[in-house]
């Protein structure tokens, strides 16, 4: 969660609700009370927000504070944020890795992988490795089983609309851009995206990125 600390008090921010002014697969910009918040997001949250540009939405907030950076992450549901925060408690899993894991799987898929001890399935995420996947399962199995995955309409972005799929060229450029922002080389990202779209040019951008994360 986001904390704003003054001289004598820390204020916990549970969520930010505002107008969605900009959106791409890795970041959403919400304008609230005249302030534009650039918020890092996962693919499931991106999918939930597609089609809601210039509408009021709500994102649940988690933050990472280090000496040289202050990163803000937003999630469409409390459960997704809970999983993200649980991943951060595992040794060797930082915010970038946690976001990549949560972009490769839906919240329910990730919970099931952890709860059933499926380290092999989780290790498909680029850069995760079998040892880290096994550590995640050992550390989080009991906690993942207890997570309530039930949907709550109040936790979803407001006034959601189902966005139509982008044109193939738009999907390609957005997918390559998102993968580059996640830290992958542009050339390798483009090659992976092209291979995926050649097999199925009707895929939406989030599906393309999810598949590319397993290839790069």
Q: What is the pLDDT of residues 36-57, one digit of tens each?
A: 999 999 999 998 998 889 999 9
Q: pTM for this one?
A: 0.73
Residues 168/184, Cβ–Cβ less than 8 Å? no
* 169 band by pLDDT with thresholds 50, 70 and 90: low
Domains of the chain are: 1-163 (2.40.50.140), 168-213 (1.10.8)
Residues 198/212, Cβ–Cβ less than 8 Å? no
């Amino acid at each position: 969660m986001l904390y704003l600390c003054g001289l004598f008090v820390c204020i916990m921010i549970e969520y930010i609700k505002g107008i969605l002014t900009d959106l791409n697969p890795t970041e959403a910009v919400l304008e609230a009370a005249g302030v534009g918040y650039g918020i890092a997001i996962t693919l499931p949250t991106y999918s939930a927000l597609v089609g809601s540009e210039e509408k009021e939405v709500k994102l649940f907030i988690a933050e990472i504070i280090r000496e040289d950076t202050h990163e803000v992450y937003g999630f469409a549901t409390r459960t997704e944020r809970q999983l993200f925060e649980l991943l951060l408690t595992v040794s060797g899993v930082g915010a970038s890795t946690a976001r990549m894991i949560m972009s490769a799987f839906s919240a329910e898929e990730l919970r099931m992988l952890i709860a059933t001890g499926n380290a092999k399935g989780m290790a498909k995420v680029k850069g995760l490795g079998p040892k880290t996947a096994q550590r995640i399962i050992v550390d989080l199995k009991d906690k993942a089983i207890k997570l309530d995955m039930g949907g709550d309409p109040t936790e979803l972005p407001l006034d959601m609309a189902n966005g139509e799929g982008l044109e193939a060229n738009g999907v390609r450029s957005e997918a390559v851009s998102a993968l580059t922002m996640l830290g992958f080389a542009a050339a390798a990202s483009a090659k992976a995206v092209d291979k995926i779209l050649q097999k199925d040019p009707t895929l939406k951008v989030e599906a393309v990125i999810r598949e590319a994360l397993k290839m790069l």
